[in-house]
Amino acid sequence: MNFGEILLMMFTAILVENFIFSRFYGICPFLGVSSQPDTALGMGLAVTFVITISSAVTWAVYEFLLLPFELDFLKTIAFILVIAALVQFIEMFLRKFIPSLYASLGIYLPLITTNCAVLSSALLNVQNGYGFIESVCFGLAASLGFTLAIVVFAGVRARLRDAKPPKSFEGFPLTLIAAGLLAMAFAGFSGVRF
């Protein structure tokens, strides 16, 4: 891939095939941690951090470990272990060397192991046959799309708090319907094809 193609792939991953609104990866943190805009931003940045690094590491694991030994059917197990170890490692590293960043991201990090956005971006890299640079760029773009979605949605939810819906729609159903409306806005990008 040349530079233009990579840019195009990143644009597609952020807006057209947004992880939340068109592919449904990472819905749990999207619904769970989006009640305040600043915590949403913290979660988004933590996810971006982990996905970008894990894209690089899982690419290396797949290329140098699984493929040479013909173990690629074990990729789900291998990737989830790599991700769990990586999250643990990043947490320890941040606590020791960048305490200010740890203080703002720390509480979100353990949740990320079970965030399906991380595992699915690693698996998508393999499925699409991306090289090292493409994998990292795709991971970065996909997680930026996640961050965009969760921050925008936190803004919407801040306004929803003053709403007075019918009793059975209070809480989760109202949140889901608001997410549906936002997804409709993002569906507009699906017309953008190159």
Binding site residues, other proteins, CB under 8 A: 21-28, 31, 73-74, 76-77, 80-81, 84, 113-116, 119-120, 123-124, 127, 166-170, 172-177, 179-181, 183-184, 186-187
Question: For residues 57 and 183, which CB has a smaller minimum distance to other proteins in the complex?
Answer: 183
CA distance 91 to 47: 12
Closer CB to other proteins, residue 7 or residue 88?
A: 88
Dist CA 6 CA 99 (whole Å):
34
- In angstroms, what is the minimal distance from the CB of 100 to other proteins? 28
H/E element holding 181? helix 172-187
Closer Cβ to other proteins, 4 or 191, answer by number: 191
DSSP state of 71: -
Nearest distance from residue 3's CB to other proteins, in Å? Answer: 28
Judged by beta carbon, residue 7 or residue 85, the one nearer other proteins is 85
As a whole number of angstroms, the distance between CA 94 and CA 62 comes to 26
Closest distance of CB 124 from other proteins, Å: 7
Min dist CB 4 to other proteins, Å, is: 27
Which residue, chain included where needed, has tokens 């969760």?
150
CB proximity list for 186: less than 8 A, separation 6 or greater: 15, 18, 21, 22, 149
